Structure 1
């Protein structure tokens, strides 16, 4: 089981909603061609995060597309799990779902929901995602061939096997669920130094022994 390759340097693009879809696809393709390993984007009041992730994934070949972050108040946990698994099935090893509790003003005034206690609300949401049903099989991650001289220079980059602090992402294998990162403090998970990784499972070989492994994630 290999970690999603988020690399040493990625791009967080916070102004994507200001540009038309065609320009967005062209920009994502250029980022991919330059060899950036990860492209992060937020969700506020513009494009819906899962739809935008699909748009960006379809325009790229290698770059990991990551939500940084998608609001847990924008969709229920079953819908979030279904969208996550759908994108992981269609684009194996290239989608990381970053989740956040957003901000009280956006949750209450814009979306019309009650803003709950951040940590308890996030934990309940993740538990509901883990329990959510899903029809299609969850695919195994693709094998990554060793780099050779025929590889394009723009594709050569240093790989960091261990995700940076505040990010959580592991490619999944049959019976496992896709990777996601969660921030119970709101905002971009990579900017919350207090986040620590946690995963469920009994003791066993590797980080996920025991019962079927749960997604790697970061929680406050």
Structure 2
């Protein structure tokens, strides 16, 4: 346990472990690469996918115990059930860890405290487009359609009941939505019908 904890903590802290973006899109959480997953109900999960050099002493049960302790310590300090470990596996040089969060603050706090660099954001929220469209207009945001073409602002404004992720980050993050992506701000890279990669700063992702 101590050996694995030291290795995992050291690698996460120095950013030596990185998850590459997986192929294909879908409405269920893709655990092939690190990402933030946003449901139609506005709840959050993360997948942290890391590569490591295989050694005989790396053990999935020890990883699970370490992560459960990390979750327990975070919840003890911030309130029960703020973070839940959904699953974790070690297989063929790849560690996969899935978490569920009770709130945006829990996601931000946990990923920051445990230095999950792939999923760290400064702020994240999900609202109806009607609640944030005026804000985007005042900021001069230009939207593009899922096909990458510039969107007509009137067409965007008519989708007021659609869910909108508003996220600010210092580094690019991958975000997957349960619903199909309709529009994104023009600083967002569309990877597939459910997945985008943000850039530094504030981004908008509107989904069905």
TM-score when scaled to structure 1? 0.29
Which TM-score applies when normalising by structure 2?
0.30
- Larger Cα Rg: Structure 1 or Structure 2? 2
Greater fraction strand: 2
